[in-house]
């Protein structure tokens, strides 16, 4: 139990109250601003409040409570009513453009969509504040989510990729349930910008599903500059490696050092984990091929008299462990290129997003909707990769490799 006499708790409580007060001020300001704009439009149509224009066909006619959307929330304000004299001599209601814009549900839909994507289940919509869900039911929110998620599916799976200058490709798979696995492709362009290129949902992490995914990316216009080779960062799956190699002949494969260290650790007693971590860290921070070979030799020597399966796992990776180091690029890029963390971080958001799914319906598009909305949510938080200012050096190295100047 918190002690409110504690100055830290007291300060936190005061800051929370201040934040709530600040939001209330913003909301009140938005209400006043909207009413001022509406009154300005009414005055332009009818003249000043107590001095109506004799030349205008519009006149004031009281007011009525009407819903609007302020700061993403539904609210009710008093709307002035304006009528105008028709050609036939009668009168009719005149629409106020300012009020019509304030009633546009687009902003409201976006706010509700963000809430649903970030964890507000439609089953728990009744637990939200009444002002947030007034006029919205569980079924209407469900339909809203399906419509918006379907738009995200189209955006992720159909948008053209011809303008995306692919330099680095990462492909990995995430398990949705026992018989559903989503294979995802993420790309990095010459500016270090990340983008989810697409995904395919299958029954397993198979070469066929990955091949289908990469073929679809090619159909959407994804290309690799003919002057350089492609760098792919993979976790060690032979199925994914085979598919990427077939789709991009000559591709350079960098094995994820995080996955490899984790795999080797499974074969070693706990007392060796610290030393194994130190050796892999030395490998990750090495600068250039010579330093990397030295770190790899130390790792090889360490595993020489340890578990045979641990050494076999290490040797299985082969040249893939040192592929990026052999390019002789600045090691500031190693954080991003020696592991699949960039795509794994997206999967963390995706797993949190799909954690609310109780039952997967394989015969429908449900999996596509959830994966697209989860990846779309993760992509909104994307930043450029660490060391993005060194991307020109990577591109130059990939060009040199294409010309045979680098092994």
23-70 confidence digits (pLDDT tens): 566 566 667 777 777 888 888 888 888 777 777 888 888 888 888 776
Residues 6+ apart with CB under 8 A from 193: 382, 384, 388
Contact 105, 69 (CB under 8 A): yes
Closest Cα to residue 53, out of 64, 45, 65? Answer: 45
Contact 171, 183 (CB under 8 A): yes
**Least confident stretch, 44-53, 177-186, 234-243:** 44-53
The C-alpha atoms of residue 74 and residue 192 are separated, in whole angstroms, by 40
The C-alpha atoms of residue 19 and residue 176 are separated, in whole angstroms, by 38
pLDDT digits (tens, 9 = 90+) for 87-134: 777 788 888 877 776 676 555 555 555 555 544 444 444 444 444 444
| Percent of the chain whose pLDDT exceeds 70 | 80
Contact 65, 76 (CB under 8 A): yes
pLDDT at 143: 65
148 has pLDDT over 80: no
pLDDT at 162: 93
pLDDT digits (tens, 9 = 90+) for 277-317: 999 999 999 998 999 999 999 999 999 988 899 999 999 98
Contact 210, 180 (CB under 8 A): no
Closest Cα to residue 337, out of 390, 402, 276? Answer: 390
**Least confident stretch, 66-70, 112-116, 259-263, 381-385:** 112-116
> What pTM did the predictor assign?
0.68
pLDDT at 109: 52
Residues 6+ apart with CB under 8 A from 158: 220
């Amino acid at each position: 139990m918190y002690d409110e006499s504690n100055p830290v708790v007291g300060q936190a409580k005061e800051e929370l109250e201040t934040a709530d007060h600040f939001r209330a001020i913003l909301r009140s300001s938005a209400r006043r601003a909207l009413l001022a704009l509406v009154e300005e439009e009414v005055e332009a149509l009818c003249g000043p409040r107590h001095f109506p224009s004799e030349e205008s066909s519009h006149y004031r006619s009281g007011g009525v409570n009407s819903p609007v959307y302020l700061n993403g929330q539904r609210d009710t304000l008093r709307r002035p009513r304006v009528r105008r004299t028709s050609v036939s001599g009668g009168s009719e209601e005149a629409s106020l453009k300012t009020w019509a814009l304030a009633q546009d549900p687009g902003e409201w839909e976006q706010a509700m969509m963000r809430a649903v994507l970030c964890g507000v289940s439609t089953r728990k919509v009744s637990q939200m504040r009444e002002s947030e869900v007034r006029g919205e039911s569980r079924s209407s929110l469900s339909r809203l989510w399906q419509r918006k998620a379907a738009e995200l599916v189209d955006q992720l799976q159909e948008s053209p990729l011809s303008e995306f200058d692919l330099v680095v490709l990462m492909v990995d798979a995430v398990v949705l349930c026992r018989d559903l696995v989503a294979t995802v492709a993420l790309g990095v362009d010459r500016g270090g910008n990340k983008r989810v290129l697409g995904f395919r949902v299958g029954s397993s992490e198979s070469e066929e599903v990955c091949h289908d995914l990469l073929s679809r990316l090619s159909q959407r216009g994804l290309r690799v500059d003919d002057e350089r080779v492609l760098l792919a960062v993979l976790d060690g799956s032979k199925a994914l490696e085979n598919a990427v190699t077939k789709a991009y002949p000559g591709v350079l494969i960098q094995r994820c050092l995080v996955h490899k260290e984790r795999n080797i650790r499974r074969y070693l007693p706990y007392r060796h984990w610290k030393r194994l971590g130190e050796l892999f860290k030395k490998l990750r921070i090495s600068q250039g091929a010579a330093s990397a070979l030295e770190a790899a030799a130390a790792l090889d020597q360490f595993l020489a008299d340890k578990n045979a399966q641990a050494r076999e796992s290490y040797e299985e990776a082969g040249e893939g462990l040192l592929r990026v180091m052999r390019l002789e690029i600045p090691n500031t890029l190693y954080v991003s290129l020696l592991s699949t963390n960039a795509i794994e971080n997206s999967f963390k958001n995706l797993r949190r997003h799909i954690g609310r799914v109780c039952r997967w319906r394989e015969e429908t598009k449900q999996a596509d909707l959830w994966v697209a909305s989860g990846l779309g949510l993760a992509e909104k938080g994307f930043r450029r990769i660490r060391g993005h200012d060194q991307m020109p050096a990577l591109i130059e190295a990939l060009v040199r490799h294409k010309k045979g100047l680098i092994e």
